[in-house]
Amino acid sequence: MSYVSGAATGGSREVNARLAYFIVGSALAALPFLAADYVPATDLPQHLAQIRMWRELWGLDPHTMDLSSLVARPLGANTLVYWPMLALSQLLSVRWVGKLTVWLLVQSSVAALHVLAWRRERDPAHALLAGMLLFSLPLYWGLLNYLSGLPIFLLTCEHALRESSAPLRARDIAVRLLLLLALCWAHVFWLACAALVVLLRAWLKRDPGYALRWGACFVPFAAAAAAWLPSLARARRASGVELGVVYQASIAARLSWDWLCSTCFGGVRGPLEPLALLGLVAYATVVCVRARRSRRQGYDPMLLAVGASLLAFALVAPDKLLNTIWFNGRVLSCSGMLLLLALPASQARWTKAAALLLAAGFAVVTTLAWSVHSELELSGLRESLASVTGPRSVLGLDYRADASILRGRPFLQDFAYFQAEHGGELSFSFAEHQSGIVALARPRTLRWTQGLEWYPQRLQPRDVDAFDCVLVNGTNDDHSRFSERFGLRSPVAQGYFRVYCHAQSEPLTSGSTRGR
């Protein structure tokens, strides 16, 4: 089975075609990042704040917070993404570190998709369309740890599924160990997905010896994950979060078109994503029908099995487990990528043209949405960040839970940009999650209402008094009510985001107690 593009059956012409598709896919994936000052990834500011805490712990920045309650986890599970972020922070501003980090994650996944398509002899047009699914729920929620494992998982699929009659060599074992180490370091969820790939191949090929050989490589990483997860659960339970199994959508509801669109993509409101998913389904249908008529099946049963298994997981697994949001939904886009790659090659030029138009149209509209969101929906944020000098303790209040351009809660963690840029302390930090590069050594005692970033309507006067500054995201009416109730004024006169500071507050020092 090999990919054929019209009369381009020669090796060099195929390489050129694949390279062209990769370049186009990379360029389209880069367009949205050129249009937005701030990448619309909900958790991104908290990840950037983790870098600030890490830098202070390592003495790279002046101390602006109580470091005695923090510990670094530089080699811990789920921390791989922070190393390139740390390297970028040595050279660039916080805003550019965030933008380049997410861009690099997307570009590495684009490259991995095309490598997988090349090594499995899949149609590069399918890889081009699969790249659309990178702009999905994990990106828009800013699940950077998870995103950093996606390209590694795709490469692991390529290595695990390849056919070889040669005896196992030391180099093969080393590659397997490195891939599994990278998966565990990026996100332990991907380690389980890699185990699924190995088990499926062993079952489909009736080769239990294959599973045993791979299983020996899994042992140290599975043991490390098994030892870490209970400690993670204990730490999160101590912080007061819900760890149980949560089903927010029934299995029947997950079969609806709306759920599939909002989970497979999950970013831009309006008709873009339903039309994009409809276009992908139509493209896949046409390719399958034409392959059947020409009696050239050309499916990849291995990729088909892995993609279908991840789809089944997305449909039946809980929405939340161990306080991990989108536990099931985060794999739906990856499932779609693998199912697209598993399709037979498209022989007609018009289907390839349709694939290019669909991918280009999706990229252009996404770029426009990101541009409008950055320009209008985040108005006042940059001015608020610039108006505060020196580290402060900051409370974040998101009264505009829903954005007009994007789905989800895109503003939820934006107040963490203050800590990322200036240091200081926050009303909520990812250090409480115990899975970042910096974690709390012990649960902190709160002098304010917990969960205000999610439920600002619970705000009490004592909550405002516990912090130097409050970043409010709201309408003009929201700001008027807040200002009148608490007697605070903002140096930012316009925009959705406005910061309010106590007139008597002084910059935090390492000995400050405000906000702890």
Q: What was the pLDDT predicted at 506?
A: 58
Q: What was the pLDDT predicted at 8?
A: 40
What share of the chain in percent tops pLDDT 70?
95
Q: What was the pLDDT predicted at 507?
A: 58
Q: What was the pLDDT predicted at 238?
A: 75
pLDDT at 512 over 60: no
Q: What was the pLDDT predicted at 466?
A: 95
What is the average per-residue pLDDT within 289-296? Answer: 78
Residue 214 or 6, more confident = 214
Q: What was the pLDDT predicted at 5?
A: 41
Q: Where are the alpha helices (H) located in 268-348, listed in sequence order?
A: 272-293, 301-316, 332-341
Q: What was the pLDDT predicted at 442?
A: 85
Q: What was the pLDDT predicted at 391?
A: 94
pLDDT digits (tens, 9 = 90+) for 307-333: 999 999 999 999 998 888 899 999 999
Q: How many residues does the chain have?
A: 516
pTM of this structure: 0.93
Report the candidate in 144, 165, 149, 172 with the shortest Cα–Cα distance to residue 43. 144
To the nearest whole number, what is the mean pLDDT of the chain? 92
Report the candidate in 76, 72, 79, 73 with the shortest Cα–Cα distance to residue 57. 72
What is the average per-residue pLDDT within 488-503? Answer: 94
CA 383 to chain centre: 27
Q: Report which listed range, 8-22, 145-159, 291-305, 425-439, is most confident.
A: 145-159
- Using pLDDT thresholds of 50, 70 and 90, give the confidence band for residue 335: very high
Return the number of other C-beta atoms located less than 10 Å from residue 363's C-beta: 21
Q: What was the pLDDT predicted at 65?
A: 94
Q: What was the pLDDT predicted at 9?
A: 47
Strand pairing category for 469-473 and 392-398: parallel
pLDDT at 492 over 80: yes
pLDDT digits (tens, 9 = 90+) for 367-423: 999 999 999 999 999 999 999 988 999 999 999 988 899 999 999 999 999 999 999
Tell me the CA distances in angstroms from 460 to 15, 260, 347, 489, 505, one per residue in order.
63, 39, 65, 18, 19
Q: What was the pLDDT predicted at 406?
A: 95
CA 331 to chain centre: 11
- Using pLDDT thresholds of 50, 70 and 90, give the confidence band for residue 2: very low
- Using pLDDT thresholds of 50, 70 and 90, give the confidence band for residue 122: very high
Strand, coil or helix: 249:
coil
Task: Give me the DSSP letters along 10-77.
Answer: SHHHHHHHHHHHHHHHHHHHHHHHHH-SS---TTHHHHHHHHHHHHHHTTSS---S-GGGEEE-TTST
pLDDT at 89 over 70: yes
